[in-house]
Amino acid sequence: MARWLLHVDLDQFQAAVEFRRHPELRGRPVIVGGNGDPEEPRKVVTCASYPARAYGVRAGMPLRSAARRCPEGVFLPLDMAAYEEASDEVMALLRTFPGRVEVWGWDEAFLAADTDDPESLAREIRAAVAELDLGCAIGIGDNKLTAKLATGFAKSAGKSSAAPADDPGAATGTFRLTAANWTEVMGHRPTNALWGIGNRIAARLAELGIETVADLMAADHRRLAAEFGPSTGPYLWVLGHGKGDTEVSTQPRIPVGRSRSETFPTDLTDAAEIRAQVARLATEVAEEMAEAGRITVRVSVTVRTKTFFTRSKQAKLSEPTADVAAIAEAALRVVDRFELDRPVRLLGVRLEFAPE
CA dist 234 and 240 (Å) reads: 10
| Amino acid, res. 44 | V
Is the separation of the CB atoms in 44 and 61 below 8 Å?
yes
| Amino acid, res. 247 | E
CA dist 324 and 319 (Å) reads: 13
Q: Which residues contact 343 (CB under 8 A, 6 or more apart)?
A: 267, 268, 269, 305, 306
What's the DSSP call for residue 252? P
Backbone angles phi, psi at 334, to 5 degrees: -70, -45
Question: Is 247 considered catalytic here?
Answer: no
For the CA atoms of 16, 18, 20, 26, the dihedral, rounded to the nearest 10 degrees, stands at -70
> Which residue in the list 18, 108, 119, 352 is annotated as catalytic?
108
Is the separation of the CB atoms in 5 and 143 below 8 Å?
yes
Distance of CA 95 to the CA centre of its chain: 22
CA dist 244 and 248 (Å) reads: 12
Backbone angles phi, psi at 167, to 5 degrees: -65, 125
Is the separation of the CB atoms in 240 and 182 below 8 Å?
no
CA dist 347 and 134 (Å) reads: 36
Q: Active-site residues: which are they?
A: 108
